Structure 1
Amino acid sequence: MMSLLLRIFYFVIFLPFLAESRNPALNDDVLGLIVFKADLREPDSKLVSWNEDDDEPCCWTGIKCEPKTNRVTELSLNGFSLSGKIGRGLLQLQSLRTLSLSKNNFSGTLSSDLLRLESLRNLDLSENKLSGPIPDDFFGQCRSIRAISLAKNAFFGAIPSNVGFCSTLAALNLSSNRLSGSLPWRLWSLNALRSLDLSDNTLVGEIPVGISKMYNLRSISLHGNRLSGHLPDDIGDCLLLKSLDLAGNSLSGSLPESMRKLSTCSYLSLSSNFFSGEVPTWIGEMKSLETLDLSRNGFFGQLPGSLGDLQLLKALKLSRNGFTGSFPESLCSCKSLVDVDLSQNSLTGKLPLWVFESGLQQVLVSENKLNGSIVIPSSSASNLQVLVLSSNAFSGSIPEGLGKLKSLEVLDLSGNRLNGSIPLEIGGAVSLKELRLEKNSLKGAIPTQIGNCASLTSLDLSQNNLTGPIPPTLANLTNLQIINFSRNRLTGTIPKQLSNLPHLLSFNIAHNVLSGDIPSGSFFNTIPPSFLSDNPGLCGSIVNRSCPGVLPKPIVLNPENSSPNSSSGSTFSPSGLHHKKIILSVSTLIAIGAAAIIALGVITITVLNFRARASASQSAAALALSDDFLSQSPTTDANSGKLIMFAGGDPEFSAGAHALLNKDCELGRGGFGAVYKTMLQNGRPVAIKKLTVSSLVKSQEDFEREVKKLGKVQHPNLVALEGYYWTPSLQLLIYEFVSGGSLYKHLHESSASNALSWQERFDIILGTAKSLAHLHRLDIIHYNLKSAYILLDGSGEPKTGDYGLAKLLPMLDHYVLSSKIQSALGYMAPEFACRTVKITEKCDVYAFGVLVLEIQARKRLLEYMEDDVVVLCDMVRGALEEGKVAECVDGRLMWEVPHRGGHCSDEAGFDLHVAGSIESARHGGGGEHPGTYQMPSG
């Protein structure tokens, strides 16, 4: 090993002289490769076999040797994820013929010394991160090189003029770099060159005359540059040319006649230039053409009949020109033709029958002036996969023969003058993925047979005169992403089954005569209202029209309103609430007419309370079928329902059904329901939430899936969900009982002697943050965070409750959901009342910031004065701006300052600033992005 280290040291010191001296004693391939490896980073360790103790490298990964001499002839490390510099150690490989380092991450500049290797024939450094200009003397060292590829790097500057010195060069690829300047005229002196690719650079100027000297040229690609001027007249003298790609430049003029001699050319692309004139008839003499692309130019006139002489033609692309006349009949002679694009021209006449009888797979003729009926021959056995005839003047009915096109994937007949009904045979097009029939005069019903097109992803029937219902069979099309039925005369309801479409992204039914309620779930929970507009019979929160049987929007409750049974000695459950007032107005601008509104509100509340009590009595009677129903084993009996405890075993409750609905056992009420306390026979208490929105929970499967997900959530700072009870008319959630009461109680209803200390408040803030962070990691949004739902156990540890309940109500959209939990007024960012704002974890971040303010200031979120309301966030913001932070800190904490070395107000000031910044960021940053802070981890 020591001798090898000495050799490497000697090698590095004298490296500049080695290539010239060629001392056999120092011409060591192992040494050169090890020095080359020393400059590399290899994350995948693919060069582990390169061992400096080996006598020769012929068994190393990526290495090939000459059998007689055991000297390295090929180094190929393509796609090895290598990075670093291409070191000078490679100069020791004097027998190297192929160096291929493509698809790696090599960086730095290009060294001219690489081409000094006399044996080198092939150099491939493509798809790396090499940069800088190509050195002026790089091609001057090329000796016997045959192929050079520097494609897909970041080289810039001009192509060195001495490129013409590489007389043996057969392939040169400098594509996809940032090369600029003009084409060097010495390029044409490379008469051994067979392939030239300079595409996707920024080369400018004209193509120099003299290209005919490259008599061995087979392929030339200059597309994606900024070349201008005419094509050189001698371009047709490259008689062996098979591929000519000049697309995406600024070339102009007509096609030089010499091109007719390119009888071996199979690929000709001149698209996206400024060529003009008529397509010459001699184009038919280029009999080897397989692809002819003249699209996006200024060609005009009729298409020559000689196109039919191109018997090998597979793709004909002539779109976006000014061609006139009829669809060329001669093309039916092109037996190999599969792809025709004549769109955006001025063609007239009818669509020929042979389009459906040949081997065509794709026909695009949109935005022309074709007319007449679309006729599919009865004997058609078409291979068509894409048929786009949009924006023409076709008339008559949709041909019934479409059902025979078994391979058809895209059918676009939009923007024509078609009438009649959609044929029932459309269901036979089983491979159809996109169907566009919009902007016609179609009438009749949407056929139910369309539900047989199982591959359909996009269906647009808008702007017609269709009538009848939306067929429920659309629910069979599980791949559907886009449905547009707008601007028709459809009637009936929206099939509920459509809410089960898993990939639906857009469903536009605006401007019809549809009625009934809007399905819930999946896409329909966030459907833009504009997609439903001008359907007077539709109902639901999205269109602001109530449906029969749907609960009205609740009256907004004051967060200080007390529950019927609140008392200082009560214990609190996850939804324990103690409010005292009812908001009838918070504005100082209420006019005289408000009195009438208030009176109406009082009457409404009275009626609702009467109905709620009647409903509760009915539920009690139903539950009282068996006084010990809660002690039964899990069952799905229709009377007793289904009771599940996540910990397993049979739950043994000491109280029966009467206890759940007994007012004496009620702990509190929240936006989602009332909470009761009951005891297990072993003496352990539990809290049971009875959902008052159970009539909106329609799916047992969805309910159980979400509840079981919440039941798996385990964290010291979260109230544990221990089980649930289900019937179609009643749902119960069984929680652990937390005895210490709510944070709201300790902040706002405790005596001065029992006030929370600063450390206790800090621990509550930290524990709450940890609980929210844990929920967010599980992709669960609380959405209803407030001090009443932060419960303290016997040791003062905080536990967050009432989390994730919004997911239990798939029938509720954003608007109704917001109104159901308006008891969180003050904690919820105002922009979440907007239907277009997506509910994210940011709403929890905002509420957490407000909670921090409430804890430190020990002030209620809203203080109700005689004729005004003071908002805590506004008060704190004003204090921060005036530098009066101390006014926002609970006075009970100040006595702690001497004992804490003066840090209390500093910490409080910092936390107030953070929480206040959350509110300020929302106002300063726009309503779409509430809460830019992240929850702490832990």
Structure 2
Amino acid sequence: MKMKSNVLAQMFMSSWIFIALLQLYCMGISSSEVPLQLNDDILGLIVFKSGLQDPGSSLTSWNEDDDTPCSWKYIQCNPITNRVSQVSLNGLGLSGKIGRGLEKLQNLQILSLAHNNFTGSITPQLFLISSLRTLNLSHNSFSGRIPINPFNITSIRFLDLSHNSLSGPIPDTLFQNCISLRFLSLAYNSLEGPIPTTLSNCASLGSLNLSNNHLSGNPEFSNGIWLLRKLRILDLSNNALSGEVSQGIFEVHNLKELHLQGNQLSGMLPADIGLCPHLNHLDFSDNMFSGALPQSLGMLVSLTYFSLSNNKLTGDIPQWIGNMSSLQYIDFDNNAFAGKLPESLGDLKSLSSLSLSNNKLTGEVPLSLAYCTRLSGIQLRGNGFSGSIPQGLFNLGLEELDLSVNGFSGSIPAGSTPLFESLQVMDLSQNKLTGDIPAEMGLFSNLRYLNLSQNNLQSRIPPELGYFQSLSVLDLRRNALYGSIPGDLCDSNSLAILQLDENSLEGPIPQEIGNCSSLYLLSLSNNSLNGSIPKSLSKLKKLEILALNFNELSGEMPQELGMLDNLLVVNISYNRLIGRLPMGSIFQNLDQSALQGNLGICSPLLKGPCKMNAQKPLVIDPNAYNKQRGGNNLTHKSSDFVKLRHRRFLSVSAIVAILATLLIAVGIVIVSLLNVAARRRLAFVNTAAESMGSSSQRSGSTATGKLVLFDSKSSEDWVHNAETVLNKASEIGRGVFGTLYKASIGGEGRFVAIKKLVTSNILQYSEDFEREVRILGRARHPNLMALKGYYWTPQMQLLISDYTPHGSLQSRLHDRLPSTPPLSWADRFKIALGTAKGLAHLHHSFRPPIIHYNVKPSNILLDENFNPKISDFGLARLLTKLDKHMISSRFQSALGYVAPELACQSLRINEKCDIYGYGVMVLELVTGKQPVEYGDDDVMILSDHVRVLLEQGNVLDCIDPSMSEYPEEEVLPILKLGLVCTSQIPSSRPSMAEVVQILQVIKTPIPQNTEIF
């Protein structure tokens, strides 16, 4: 017992001494000033460890009782001095702040803390380590500014601060003593301002990456970066750099990779760019470059990757492109290149991907292209190519072939063995192709997407198409297909989209359609299909869109279809259907347009008769169906008509009782809903207050919630007053993604907006949620509503942003009080331009782009000067999937703003969907009308209304009468811009960068008799 007591006493003394050393160290007393000597490296590492959270217990081997740390895990020592030379803690899930301690390691050469969860600012003391050669703090959550006075960067060769939340400008002092620096990456932060001119001091720099920030201005190409003669890799992509790229690239003879995509650079491409003989990667995409290709490009014989997409380049694609013999990837999409393709393309034997979509190229595709035997992808969509499709292309081992929206004619070439084994995507839609669909198409074993729509193909649907084992999309719309739908189409069970509408198909819908278990879109409209709707459709549990309108289907709808819980859109109009609609699903909420034109559908929305399957059907108007679709006249017996009249007479006596019952029931429901809403409101406030209050004690615990404010100045007030703040919160709006509250924080009455997100399908792990929210937090722009922070628990997620007292564009445009003056034209133009700039930033400054998903006036907030602030952007990133409730709510809350392809095709979300919503908003700004307005006898669709008036020459009639003055030279082009943005074909809509350019041109005085559109 006595021995045990001695051991405990020694342990206690050891712990007490160590704690005392820690306290002395934190007070600035060095280890040499205390009686007990402790290895400086051990002391520094233990102090560093004491400020960390180590969820994986990775640092358990770090023991203060050891004589040396050289045996500790993740530590390396110099074998001669026995001092720590390397600390590598990559990807251990560590969190916390880098406090005092590491500067004690005066022999440290490599410090790598990448891929962890460190927070706080970067301590300048790290730069006091004179021996430090490598500093890697990438992929963490460091915030604040880069230290202004890095005292000893002269020794650092490798510096990586990328993928954090650093903000502010890049300090000039960072590069005052950077003679040894070889590698520098500050990518994926929120840095702003110009690139410092002192960067030219880093004469030894070989790799520079400043991408994905908010850097602006001209990057001093001529007398700054281009002086770095040893530079191999330069990445300035996805910033806000502007101006022209002046000549001088040839000075950097060793440059191998040049990334300038995603900026606002303009002017001609530098004429001397071809004088970089070692260049193998060149990306100028997503800018505003114009003019023709400089001839010096033909000298880049080492270039393998070449992208100029999304610019305004003109001229032809020159013959000398064949001299660039190493090219593997060419992307010239979305420019204005014209003329014919050169035969010299066939000289590019290494070419694997050729993308020239959405240009003005004409003529026939050269046969020599088939000599590029390594081609795996060809995209020529949206040009003016003509003639037949070269057979040689179908002899290649292509994975993707997109020749859509051209003028190709003739038949579809026969495939070959290499193509059968490799092809995954084929799009030949919107051409002039004729003939049959080749039966051998069934041999494409890996085909996932087949689109032959909008041609003039005249054949039966080959049953061999059902042999595809991977096919998920089959689109054969708008052809001249005839015969029946083969039941073999669903043999593979992989089909997700089947579109056969606007053909001449006949016969019944096959029972085998129920085998398409993956189908979520089925469109068979505008054919001559007959017979009854098969019950097997009820097996399609994933079905979301069903279009059977304009056929000759008869009988009652199977009641089993009511079990399809995922249905969002159904159209059965203009058939011969009768009887009750299925119970459940969407059928009880279908509007009149989805039901009209049938023989006797039972629905309170239809004025016609309700006809049930019976031996003696009762029909009031025997010509009702005949009037709609030339069917046979139906007769009725006079006795049946008398019975019907009698039933009507008897039912009148019950009307009063029924109405009274309904009114009472409605009243009960309303009162109940109000009570439920009140209880939910109180529950939200109480729960939020309790959770956020507890998080102030331990913000890192996911059990009590995690509160993070990007503005650290406000964090203390929030933590202290969380309960008070949320108890005073008031609801100010509801949307698809959740409920919005107004709350006050701090002692100065500062207001913020708090959005409580819907909990359905929100990311369930705090790390995933935090990563996505931080990406949104970096989306800083004058026309974006800045995200200030967030709060997370598995049960509740809150987003915190600024509050705008002047409301939304919706309230100013459509819900304006009589006492509020109308928006002037200057303010309307400012709103249109600012919104376009904000969306352009989301689309072009991030990879992948941030899609808003819900562009409409209620999400455009206005500051005191009527500058627009886009809110709710990117919230779709927080959803693991778009469930049926979300999509249904989206359609209902954004009626008129939803791009047509979302309602009738694949529900895929991309930038073009945002552009459609923006176009509708622009039309609202000019006309003052809602996107959809209901009259007594018809429905007015705003884009159609404006388009008709424009064609009639009366477009000025639709301008908002509340505007007393407006310049016609600005109003008319903007109306035309809105119509272009709302084009039914997504590829015909401009990008948001192009929209900004167009608006800037409209605002700039131009010569008379010059039309913008």
- The residue that corresponds to 2:326 in the other structure is 312
Q: Could you tell me how far 1:464 is from its partner in structure 2? A: 0.8
Corresponding position of 1:150:
161
Instruction: Provide the C-alpha distance between the structure 2 equivalents of 1:368 and 1:512, rounded to a whole number of angstroms.
Output: 30
Residue 344 of structure 2, aligned match among 330, 347, 358: 330
- Could you say what secondary structure the match of 1:75 adopts? strand
**Post-superposition offset of 1:232:** 3.3
Instruction: Please report how far the alpha carbon of residue 77 of structure 1 lies from its aligned counterpart in structure 2 after TM superposition.
Output: 1.1
Change (3 A) 1:325 1:206: same
2:263 to 222, 244, 249: 249
Distance 2:582 2:305 in 1: 68
Read off the aligned partner of 1:219 and give its amino acid letter.
I
The CA deviation at 1:376 is 1.1
| Aligned partner of residue 456 in structure 2, secondary structure | coil
Alpha-carbon distance in 2 for matches of 1:288, 1:867: 82
Which residue pairs with 1:111 in the alignment? 123
**1:271-299: CA deviation from partner (whole Å, max 9, x where unpaired):** 11111221122211111101111111121
- The answer to whether the 8 A contact 2:520-2:542 is kept is no
State the partner residue of 1:233.
Answer: 247
SS at match of 1:869: helix
Candidates 67, 70, 73, aligned match of 2:82:
70
Instruction: Go from structure 1 to structure 2 and tell me whether the alpha carbon gap of 1:11 and 1:160 turns closer, same or farther (over 3 Å shift).
Output: same
* Farther off after superposition, 467-476 or 395-404: 395-404
Counterpart-to-counterpart distance in 1, 2:345 and 2:310: 21
Task: Determine which of 167, 173, 186 is the counterpart of 1:162.
Answer: 173
Match of 1:433 among 448, 454, 458: 448
The offset of 1:454, in angstroms, is 1.5
Quick check: 1:413 aligned with 2:428? yes
Question: In structure 2, how many angstroms separate the alpha carbons of the residues matched to 1:329 and 1:199?
Answer: 37
- For 1:928 and 1:871, how far apart are their aligned partners in 2? 33
Q: Specify the alignment match of 1:515 in structure 2.
A: 530
Alignment counterpart, residue 295 of structure 2, candidates 272, 281, 289: 281
Aligned pair in 2 of structure 1 residues 91, 927: CA closer, same or farther (>3 Å)? Answer: closer
Tell me the percent identity: 38
1:54 equivalenced with 2:54 (yes/no): no
Superposed CA deviations along residues 369-392 of structure 1, whole A, max 9, x for unmatched, are 1100113149x7412111110111
Query: Deviation digits for residues 88-133 of structure 1, max 9, x if unmatched?
Result: 1111111111111111111101111101111111111111111011
Give the deviation of 1:70 after TM superposition.
Answer: 2.4
Shift of 1:59: 2.5
2:50 is matched with: 38
Match of 1:387 in 2: 401
User: Which AA in structure 1 matches 2:304?
Assistant: E
Structure 2 counterpart of 1:754 = none
Counterparts of 1:115-264 in structure 2, within 5 Å, are 115-138=127-150, 140-165=151-176, 166-208=178-220, 209-210=222-223, 211-264=225-278
1:98 and 2:122 correspond: no
Q: Provide the C-alpha distance between the structure 1 equivalents of 2:247 and 2:52, rounded to a whole number of angstroms.
A: 49
SS in 2 for 1:123: strand
1:284–1:882 Cα change, 3 Å: closer
Q: 1:540 to 1:191 in 2, by over 3 A?
A: farther
- Return the offset for 1:409: 1.0
When residues 933 and 875 of structure 1 are mapped into structure 2, their CA distance, relative to the original with a 3 A threshold, is farther
Q: How does 1:692-771 map to 2 (within 5 A)?
A: none
Could you say which residue in structure 2 is the equivalent of 1:484? 499
Residue 495 (structure 1) aligned with residue 510 (structure 2)? yes
Residue-by-residue CA offset, 1:590-628 (whole Å, 9 max, x unaligned)? x9x9xx99xx99x989999xxxxxxxxxxxxxxxxxxxx
CA gap 1:69/1:421 in 2 versus in 1, 3 angstroms: same
- The residue correspondences of 1:366-405 to structure 2 (distance < 5 A) are 366-377=381-392, 381-401=395-415, 405=419
Query: CA–CA distance in 2 between the matches of 1:607 and 1:538?
Result: 15
1:869 paired residue among 661, 668, 677: 661
**Is the contact between residue 514 and residue 538 of structure 1 (CA under 8 Å) also seen in structure 2?**
no
Task: Report the Cα offset of residue 879 of structure 1.
Answer: 8.2
User: Is 1:351 the counterpart of 2:143 in the alignment?
Assistant: no
Q: CA deviation at 1:864?
A: 9.5
Q: What is the aligned partner in structure 1 of residue 286 from structure 2? A: 272
Q: Does structure 2 conserve the Cα–Cα contact (< 8 Å) formed by 1:863 and 1:871?
A: no
SS at 1:129's partner residue?
A: coil
Would you say how many aligned residue pairs link Structure 1 and Structure 2?
A: 598
Shift of 1:430: 1.7
Amino acid at match of 2:253: L
* Distance 1:360-1:882 versus aligned 2 partners, 3 A rule: closer
Structure 2: distance between partners of 1:276 and 1:366: 21
What's the offset of the Cα at 1:159? 0.1
The answer for unaligned runs of 5 or more in structure 2 is 1-10, 558-569, 584-603, 619-653, 676-732, 739-757, 761-794, 796-1013
Closer, same or farther in 2 for the Cα pair 1:252/1:36, shift >3 Å?
same
Identify which range, 534-543 or 326-335, moves more after superposition: 534-543
TM-score, length-normalised on structure 1? 0.59
- Asked if structure 1 preserves the Cα contact closer than 8 Å seen for 2:458 and 2:482, the reply is yes
Q: Is residue 97 of structure 2 the alignment partner of residue 81 of structure 1? A: no
Contact 1:377/1:401, CA 8 A, preserved across alignment: no
**Highest RCO, 1 vs 2 (Cα 8 Å, sep ≥ 6):** 1
Q: Which amino acid aligns with 1:532?
A: L
Residue equivalent to 2:24? 13
Equivalent residue letter for 1:288: S
The question of whether the paired residues in 1 share the 8 Å contact of 2:445 and 2:468 is answered with yes
Amino acid in structure 2 at the alignment position of 1:108:
G
1:450 aligns to 2:465 (yes or no): yes
Q: Which amino acid aligns with 1:120?
A: L
Deviations 1:706-753 (A, max 9, x none): xxxxxxxxxxxxxxxxxxxxxxxxxxxxxxxxxxxxxxxxxxxxxxxx
Tell me, in whole angstroms, the C-alpha distance in 2 between the residues paired with 1:925 and 1:329: 59
Written as runs of structure 1 = structure 2, the 5 A alignment for 1:642-661 is: none
1:370 maps to amino acid: F
Native 8 Å contact 1:189 1:213 kept in 2? no
Larger Rg: 1
TM-aligned CA distance change 1:539 to 1:865, over 3 Å: closer
For the aligned residue pairs, the C-alpha RMSD in angstroms reads 3.9
* Mapped contact 2:271–2:295 kept (Cα < 8 A): no
3-state DSSP of counterpart to 1:347: strand
User: Matches of 1:346 and 1:381 in 2, distance apart?
Assistant: 27
C-alpha separation between the residues in 2 aligned to 1:554 and 1:365?
Answer: 46
C-alpha distance in structure 2 between counterparts of 1:318 and 1:927, whole Å: 38
Aligned to 1:531, which of 542, 547, 555?
A: 547
Name which of structure 1's ranges 516-525 and 495-504 shifts more when overlaid on structure 2. Answer: 516-525
Residue 259 of structure 1 aligns with an amino acid whose one-letter code is I
Letter in 2 for 1:164: F
Is 1:179–1:203's contact at 8 Å kept on the other side of the alignment? yes
Structure 1 position 866, deviation (Å)? 8.9
Q: In 2 relative to 1, CA 882–135 (structure 1 residues): closer, same or farther, beyond 3 Å? A: closer
The answer to whether the Cα contact below 8 Å between 1:364 and 1:388 also exists between their aligned partners in 2 is: yes
Per-residue CA distance 1:820-844 (angstroms, 9 max, x = gap): xxxxxxxxxxxxxxxxxxxxxxxxx
- Alignment partner of 1:302: what SS? coil
CA deviation after TM superposition for structure 1 residue 530, in Å: 6.0
User: How far apart are residue 537 of structure 1 and its match?
Assistant: 2.3
Using the TM superposition, give the Cα deviation of residue 54 of structure 1 relative to its aligned residue in structure 2, in angstroms. 2.0
Q: Following the alignment from structure 1 to structure 2, what is the Cα–Cα distance between the partners of residues 607 and 371? A: 57
Cα 1:424–1:882 shift into 2, 3 Å: closer
Q: 2:31 touches 2:37 (CA, 8 Å); kept in 1?
A: no
- TM-score normalised by length of structure 2: 0.55
In the aligned structure 1, how far is the partner of 2:211 from the partner of 2:734? 44
Q: Does structure 1 conserve the Cα–Cα contact (< 8 Å) formed by 2:408 and 2:432?
A: yes
- Classify the secondary structure of the residue corresponding to 1:400: coil
Single out whichever of 326-335 and 119-128 deviates more from structure 2: 326-335
